[in-house]
């Protein structure tokens, strides 16, 4: 194996793995792995990352968004069979209670805390979890109405679910839920903060 490495003085040398020590061989391999353009490593073999700097930038975008949230996808296409995305959510963002007809939804908190509620058809809370506080990961069941509320500025949640991406239609929302940008939606968000299993939302 031949590996091109770069010395501090920016002079390039070539090492033959069979002619150098085991340490140099490992250094050779590690250096090659760090170079995204190296022909031995196809782009689709490199790890995808969400750095702390990326989360900071995502949060900044969320604070500037009228919806007070912003997402960064790890999946390559909206048609991918598994959707993976980080979502920066400010406390003022409203997630209208909804369900997914084709998938469960897995959530974990990367930063901050989130109240996650699931409901029955009449708007009664059937489960409550606080991600980032008493729970690390939750999976909401398929065809179950749920909502998520950010409790902290700068909070970021990570979501995994089956694709392809399907834009919401009115039938996906709970018929007892309030549309966005209404006084009822703001009241609902306040209610979510303290709602417990067995409580029922009444607009």
pLDDT > 60? residue 56: yes
Q: How far apart are CA 8 and CA 78, in angstroms?
A: 42
Mention every residue, 6+ apart, whose C-beta is less than 8 A from residue 35. 41
- Give residue 124's pLDDT: 97
| Alpha-carbon distance values, 144 to 79, 102, 104, 110, 202 (Å) | 23, 11, 9, 24, 19
- Give residue 40's pLDDT: 66
Parallel, antiparallel, or unpaired: how do β-strands 69-73 and 105-111 relate? unpaired
Q: Could you read off the pLDDT of 67-94 as tens digits, one per residue?
A: 999 999 989 888 889 999 999 999 999 9
Contact call for residues 142 and 179 (beta carbons, < 8 A):
no
| Three-class HEC string of the chain | CEEEEECCCCCEEEEEHHHCCHHHHHHHHHHHHHCCCCCCCCHHHCCCCCCHHHHHHHHHHHHHCCCCEEEEECCCCCCCCEEEEEEEECCCCCCCCECCCCCCEEEEEEECCEEEEEECCCCEEEEEEEECCCECEEEECCCCEEEEEECCCCEEEEEEEECCCCCCCHHHECCCCCCCCCHHHHHHHHHHHHCCCCCECCC
Residue 119: strand pairing partners: 125, 145
- Give residue 95's pLDDT: 98
Confidence of residue 31 (pLDDT cuts 50, 70, 90): very low
11-25, 77-91, 128-142, 149-163, range with the lowest pLDDT: 11-25
Q: Could you read off the pLDDT of 91-135 as tens digits, one per residue?
A: 999 999 999 999 999 999 999 999 999 999 999 999 999 999 989
- In this prediction the pTM is 0.77
What does the pLDDT average to over 34-43? 57
Domains and CATH numbers, the chain: 2-45 (no CATH), 52-194 (2.60.120.10)
């Amino acid at each position: 194996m031949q590996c091109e490495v770069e010395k501090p003085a920016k002079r390039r040398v070539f090492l033959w793995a069979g002619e150098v020590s085991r340490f140099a061989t490992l250094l050779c391999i590690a250096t090659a792995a760090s170079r995204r353009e190296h022909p031995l490593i196809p782009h689709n073999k490199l790890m995808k990352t969400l750095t702390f700097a990326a989360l900071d930038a995502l949060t900044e975008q969320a604070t500037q968004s009228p919806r007070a949230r912003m997402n960064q996808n790890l999946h390559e296409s909206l048609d991918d069979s598994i959707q993976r995305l980080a979502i920066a959510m400010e406390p003022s963002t409203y997630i209208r209670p909804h369900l997914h007809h084709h998938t469960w939804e897995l959530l974990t908190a990367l930063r901050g805390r989130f109240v996650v509620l699931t409901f029955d058809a009449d708007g009664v809370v059937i489960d409550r979890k606080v991600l980032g506080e008493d729970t690390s990961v939750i999976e909401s069941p398929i065809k179950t109405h749920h909502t998520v509320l950010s409790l902290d500025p700068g909070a970021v949640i990570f979501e995994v679910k089956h694709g392809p991406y399907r834009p919401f239609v009115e039938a996906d929302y709970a018929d007892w839920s309030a549309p966005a940008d209404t006084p009822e939606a703001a009241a609902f968000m306040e209610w979510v903060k303290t709602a417990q299993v067995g409580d029922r939302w009444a607009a």
